[in-house]
Amino acid sequence: MDTHISTLFLAGDRVFKLKKPVLLPFLDFTTLAARQAACEAEVEINRRASPDLYVGVRALTRAPAGGLELDGEGEAVEWAVEMRRFDQETLFDRLARRGELDRGRCDALTEAVAAFHRVAPVRADRGGQAGLDWTVATNRLSMLARDPSVLPVDEVEELARASFAALERFAPRLEERRAAGFVRQCHGDLHLGNICLWQGRPALFDAIEFSEDIACIDVIYDLAFLLMDLDHRGARQQANWVMNHYLDLTADFAGLAPMPLYLSARAGVRAHVSAAMAAGAQGAARERLAADARSYLAAARAYLDPPPPRLLAVGGLSGSGKSRMGRELAPFLAVPGAAVVRSDSLRKHLMGVPVHDRLGPDGYGPEVTERTYRRLYDTCAALLADGQAVVADAVFARPEQRDAIERVARAAGVPFDGLWLEAPAELSKRRIAGRKANVSDATPQVLDHQLSYDLGAIAWTRIDSSPPKDVTLAAGRAALGV
C-alpha cells in the first residue's frame, strides 16, 4: 500500500511501513538517518494512543550472500516500523461509508481522543498564532505547487487572504490557550482513515512524527481534523456528537472560538494532499482524487463564513427527551453543529468527578444547583460572544431559570428559541430506566419529585415527545424553522 510519504507491506499478521525518500514543504526524508529517526519517533508517539498496535522499529540489512534480511548483521539500508495488522474493514472511514458510526462508536472514539489529549505532553513553545500562521502559509504553498487546473491559483489566494484575516481575529485566543497549556504534542493527522477498531475499541494510529509544527497544536485543532472529515463525508450529525461529547468530557468550551479557522485549515490540508496524490495517479483514480481536492478547497473557504450565533434552550422534566432533542437539533444550527451546554455535565465538573460517575445527595443540593445554573448561563454567554451557536440543555423547571437563559440571549443580541418537552410520566420513567452510560443521574424517583414542582407559566414552545423520535424531531425543527 502507498501513501504520498510511505510504503506499507502487509504480511500475515504484521505490517512493515517504510518512509519514502521524499522532500516536501513540511518534511525531509531524503537521508537514511532521517528515515530511521522518523520510524523511531513514530513508534514512540503512537504507543501513547495504541501501544498494542506498534511492535517496534526493524532494520532492513544487507545479507552476506546478497538480498535483504530483517535485523541482520549487515549494513542497514532502510528502516521500517513494524505494526500488528488489523482488519481494514474496521477503518473508521469505511465504517462511515457503510453507515456504521452509531452514537456508541462515536462516544467511544471521542473518549479515546480525550484520553490521548489528557496525557499528551504540553508544548507551550509551539502552536498559538505562529503555529496557525505556519499552517496557513504551508497550505498556500503546497496548493500553489499543484496543478492549477485542480486547485486554481485565484481560489487558493482567496482562501489564504481569508485565512490570514481570520487568524488575526482569533490570535488573542490562540495565544491565551498556548500559554494555558492547551497546545500539546497531539496526533496531528486525526482523520477517519487513521482510526480503526482494535479488540473492539477505537484505536488511533499513524500520528505525525516528522513535524512538530504539525503535531504540537491546540487539542481542539487536533479534534477539528476529525470533525472536518466527518462533516465533509456528510456525517455532520456524527461530527456534532463527537464535538459535544468531547465538551462533556473536558468542558473546554473556550477552545471553540477559532473553530471556523481550524476546520478551514484542515480542509486545506486535505486539498493539497489529495492534489498531490492525484498527480501520482492515473485514469479514474486521478479524476477522483482531483475532484476530492477541489471539493476540499471549496469547503475550506466555506468554513470561514459560519452561520450567525443563536441560542436554543431545551427544557423539560427528566425522561422528557430534552437532551436528545437538543443533541439532534444542534447540527442544524451551526457547522459542525451548535455547542450543547448540559447542566448534567457542568454539575459534575463543578463537583470534580468524571461525567459518568454518579453524584451523591450533596451534588444536588440547592447551592450546587444554583452554581450549576450560573455556570450554564456564563458558559452560554461566553460561547455566544465567541460567535458560537448554543443549545442550553437543562430541566429549567423554575420560571426564573427560564427567564435567566432568555436574558443571556438578549444581552448577546442573538435570536432565542425555547422548547419545552413533555411526555406521560410512565413513558418518561421507562426511558430513564433504560439509559446506559448516561451523564444524567436521574432516576424514576427523581422524576416523581419533579412532578410536584410548580412550573409556572411556560411560554416556550411545548412539544409532546411521546410520538416516535423522528416525529418529535420534526416538531422541533418546525418550531425553529430549520
Tell me the per-residue pLDDT of 366-404, one tens digit each, with 9 for 90 and over: 999 999 999 999 999 999 999 999 999 999 999 999 999
Domain borders along the chain are 6-85, 89-303, 311-480
Cell numbers at 64, concatenated: 552476506
CATH architecture of 89-303: Alpha-Beta Complex (3.90)
Closest to 308 measured CA to CA, from 215, 409, 427: 409
Evaluate whether 43 touches 81 at the Cβ level (below 8 Å).
yes
How many angstroms separate the CA atoms of 398 and 457, rounded?
10
Closest to 178 measured CA to CA, from 114, 123, 120: 123
Closest to 3 measured CA to CA, from 25, 14, 16, 19: 19
Domain 311-480 of CATH type 3.40.50.300: yes
> What would the mean pLDDT of 355-359 be, rounded to a whole number?
90
pLDDT class of 294 with cuts at 50, 70, 90: very high
Q: What is the pLDDT of residues 235-258, one digit of tens each?
A: 999 999 999 999 999 999 999 999
Closest to 92 measured CA to CA, from 262, 235, 294: 235
- Residue 434: the pLDDT is 86
The answer to whether the peptide bond before residue 336 is cis (omega within 30 degrees of 0) is yes
pLDDT class of 2 with cuts at 50, 70, 90: confident
Write the single-letter amino acid at 19.
Answer: K
Q: What is the pLDDT of residues 167-199, one digit of tens each?
A: 999 999 999 999 999 999 999 999 999 999 999
What mean pLDDT is reported for the chain?
95
How many angstroms separate the CA atoms of 43 and 26, rounded?
20
Taking each helix axis from N to C terminus, what angle separates 283-303 and 219-232, rounded to the nearest 10 degrees?
A: 120
